[in-house]
């Protein structure tokens, strides 16, 4: 193996020079060979009987043919187009196919004038009937990303003066002024920002007063040694990211003040889900079912006295009140005796710390109690299974205790350790 690699190393330079000899500037060499061949043909036409010229013409033809083969091999390697072997020899179609293939597989840049934009503004180009899927999708995306991409002016060569978003406030001139005003400058519709830069400085065209105000609002100078750059306004760095686009486009609503009360670190999903529904007063309590005419009575199955509403279940009902009072006392907080929604508001305003054990415990006790009261209510209705408040409280207590013991919540106050029977860590 060593001998093989040593030999390969020895022929490395020879291979490199051979590769250079056959493939460097191959297209230029083919063009030169063709030119020499045509010259030899012209010379032979003028002196048809010359043996020397006949020999020279054949020699040039041979060289040209050889170079054409080498060029084909070069492009075959690069393009991986299988049909080249069928005899297509360096036609314009072949080269355009190469360009098309590259443009189909990759978006090189939206300023690629020879392929996609051809000098036109990305924001103004019409959707072509025949184009790659990716290019069509990019053009269709303009409807939502208009104005979210802006141009940072370098030399101004790649930015449309009227149609691109390059003004300091992220706007474009054609949205601010009518076409009549823009045409009064004498600059064409496809003018570039570079057209108003002379010797590295702005040379704003005089014209309408409103246009002059726009020129006056431009605080920066062109940087003629740099290319124009595309800036995504969704991130501080200007780079496009999917999540920043999503955050820019989606409908945002202020986060529910009760969010952290329900979805706290270490929450139990099934408890949190029922608690979440209950926090919106959307559980199918008897009063709601009665309003839908699904039942004929709204009486509470837990106490059998009052109507079952969210306010009653949480926690005005004598049954649920017993469960809740005992468990709430184990948080060492003094919970107010108030309506359901007010209780939630109070808890949401108090228990805000994500890592404080007493806050986590209080949120856990609230959501677990809500879950088990709803669980008991459903068991009574659908399974005819009844438990006492003490039994329900004992089960909820054990569930909360196990949840606490499973996770490491850092420092736990000693008195809470005793109440919840937690081991010394």
Reduced to 3 states (helix: H, G, I; strand: E, B; else coil), residue 229 is strand
Among 361, 363, 335, residue whose Cα is nearest residue 348? 363
Which residue, 178 or 304, has its beta carbon nearer to Zn ion? 304
Q: Least distance from C-beta 347 to Zn ion, angstroms?
A: 21
Which residue, 141 or 339, has its beta carbon nearer to Zn ion? 339
Q: Least distance from C-beta 324 to Zn ion, angstroms?
A: 12
Q: Kindly state whether residue 283 participates in binding Zn ion, applying the rule CB under 5 A.
A: no
Binding mask 306-335 for Zn ion (x = CB under 5 A): -----------x------------------
Decide: 371 and 275 in contact? Cβ < 8 Å: yes
Angle at the Cα of 42 (from 40 to 45), degrees rounded to 5? Answer: 110
What is the Cα–Cα distance from 374 to 382, expressed in whole angstroms?
12
What is the Cα–Cα distance from 99 to 88, expressed in whole angstroms?
16
Among 69, 60, 25, residue whose Cα is nearest residue 39? 60
Q: At 216, list the tokens.
A: 């006056």
Segment interacting with Zn ion (CB under 5 A) among 158-166, 256-264, 303-311, 374-382 = 303-311
CB neighbours of 235 closer than 8 A, spacing ≥ 6? 241, 244
What is the Cα–Cα distance from 77 to 75, expressed in whole angstroms?
5
Candidates 283, 302, 365, 366: give the one binding Zn ion (CB under 5 A): 302
Q: Kindly state whether residue 392 participates in binding Zn ion, applying the rule CB under 5 A.
A: no
Which residue, 123 or 319, has its beta carbon nearer to Zn ion? 319
Q: Kindly state whether residue 300 participates in binding Zn ion, applying the rule CB under 5 A.
A: yes
Q: Which of residues 77-106 bind Zn ion (CB under 5 A)?
A: none
- By CB under 5 A, the count of residues binding Zn ion is 4
**Polymer length in residues for the chain:** 425
Q: Least distance from C-beta 316 to Zn ion, angstroms?
A: 8
Give Rg (Cα) of the chain.
39
Q: Least distance from C-beta 281 to Zn ion, angstroms?
A: 16
Which residue, 274 or 300, has its beta carbon nearer to Zn ion? 300
Segment interacting with Zn ion (CB under 5 A) among 154-162, 275-283, 299-307, 324-332 = 299-307
Q: How many other C-beta atoms can be found within 10 angstroms of the C-beta atom of residue 30?
A: 19
Which residue, 380 or 401, has its beta carbon nearer to Zn ion? 380
Residue 424 falls in which region: left (phi positive, over 0), alpha (psi -120 to 50) or beta: beta
Q: At 225, list the tokens.
A: 């040694």
Among 293, 407, 403, 291, residue whose Cα is nearest residue 355? 407
**Residue keyed to tokens 């106050």:** 413
Q: Least distance from C-beta 354 to Zn ion, angstroms?
A: 34
Candidates 68, 117, 181, 303: give the one binding Zn ion (CB under 5 A): 303
Which residue, 90 or 379, has its beta carbon nearer to Zn ion? 379
Q: Kindly state whether residue 148 participates in binding Zn ion, applying the rule CB under 5 A.
A: no
Largest CA distance in the chain: 126
For residue 197, what is the enclosing H or E element?
strand 197-198
Which residue, 262 or 317, has its beta carbon nearer to Zn ion? 317
Segment interacting with Zn ion (CB under 5 A) among 71-79, 99-107, 230-238, 293-301 = 293-301
Q: At 221, list the tokens.
A: 């100078």
Binding mask 158-187 for Zn ion (x = CB under 5 A): ------------------------------
Q: Least distance from C-beta 314 to Zn ion, angstroms?
A: 10
Q: Least distance from C-beta 389 to Zn ion, angstroms?
A: 11
Q: Kindly state whether residue 274 participates in binding Zn ion, applying the rule CB under 5 A.
A: no
Segment interacting with Zn ion (CB under 5 A) among 34-42, 192-200, 259-267, 294-302 = 294-302
What is the Cα–Cα distance from 92 to 361, expressed in whole angstroms?
75
Segment interacting with Zn ion (CB under 5 A) among 28-36, 292-300, 373-381, 411-419 = 292-300
Binding site for Zn ion (CB under 5 A): 300, 302-303, 317
């Amino acid at each position: 193996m060593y001998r093989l690699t040593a030999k390969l190393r020895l022929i490395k330079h020879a291979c490199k020079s051979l590769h250079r000899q056959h493939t460097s500037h191959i297209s230029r060499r083919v063009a030169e060979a063709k030119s020499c061949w045509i010259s030899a043909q012209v010379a032979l036409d003028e002196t048809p009987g010359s043996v020397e010229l006949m020999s020279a013409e054949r020699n040039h033809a041979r060289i040209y043919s050889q170079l054409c083969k080498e060029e084909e091999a070069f492009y075959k390697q690069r393009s991986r187009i299988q049909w080249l072997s069928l005899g297509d020899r360096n036609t314009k179609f072949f080269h355009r196919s190469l360009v098309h293939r590259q443009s189909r597989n990759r978006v090189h840049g939206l300023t690629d004038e020879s392929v996609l934009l051809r000098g036109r503004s990305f924001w103004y180009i019409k959707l072509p009937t025949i184009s790659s899927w990716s290019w069509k999708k990019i053009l269709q995306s303009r409807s939502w990303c208009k104005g979210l991409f802006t141009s940072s002016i370098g030399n101004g060569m790649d930015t449309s003066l009227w149609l691109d978003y390059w003004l300091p406030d992220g706007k474009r001139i054609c949205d601010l002024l009518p076409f009549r005003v823009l045409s009064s400058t004498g600059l064409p519709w496809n003018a570039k920002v570079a057209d108003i830069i002379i010797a590295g400085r702005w040379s704003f065209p005089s014209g309408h007063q409103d246009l002059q105000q726009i020129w006056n609002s431009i605080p920066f100078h062109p940087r003629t040694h740099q290319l124009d750059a595309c800036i995504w306004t969704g991130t501080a760095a200007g780079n496009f990211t999917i999540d920043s686009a999503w955050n820019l486009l989606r409908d945002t609503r202020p986060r529910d003040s009760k969010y952290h009360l329900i979805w706290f670190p270490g929450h139990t999903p099934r408890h949190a889900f029922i608690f979440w529904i209950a926090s919106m007063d959307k559980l199918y309590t008897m009063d709601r079912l009665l309003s839908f005419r699904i039942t004929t009575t709204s009486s509470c199955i837990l106490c059998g006295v009052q109507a079952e509403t969210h306010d009653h279940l949480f926690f005005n009902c004598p049954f649920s009140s017993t469960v809740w009072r005992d468990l709430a006392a184990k948080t060492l907080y003094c919970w107010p005796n108030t309506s359901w929604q007010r209780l939630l508001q109070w808890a949401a305003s108090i228990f805000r710390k994500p890592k404080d054990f007493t806050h986590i415990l209080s949120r856990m006790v609230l959501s677990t109690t809500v879950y088990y009261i709803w669980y008991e209510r459903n068991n009574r209705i659908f399974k005819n299974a009844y438990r006492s408040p003490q039994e329900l409280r004992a089960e909820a207590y054990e569930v909360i205790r196990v949840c606490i013991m499973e996770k490491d919540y850092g420092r736990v106050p000693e008195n809470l350790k005793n109440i919840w029977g937690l081991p010394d860590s």
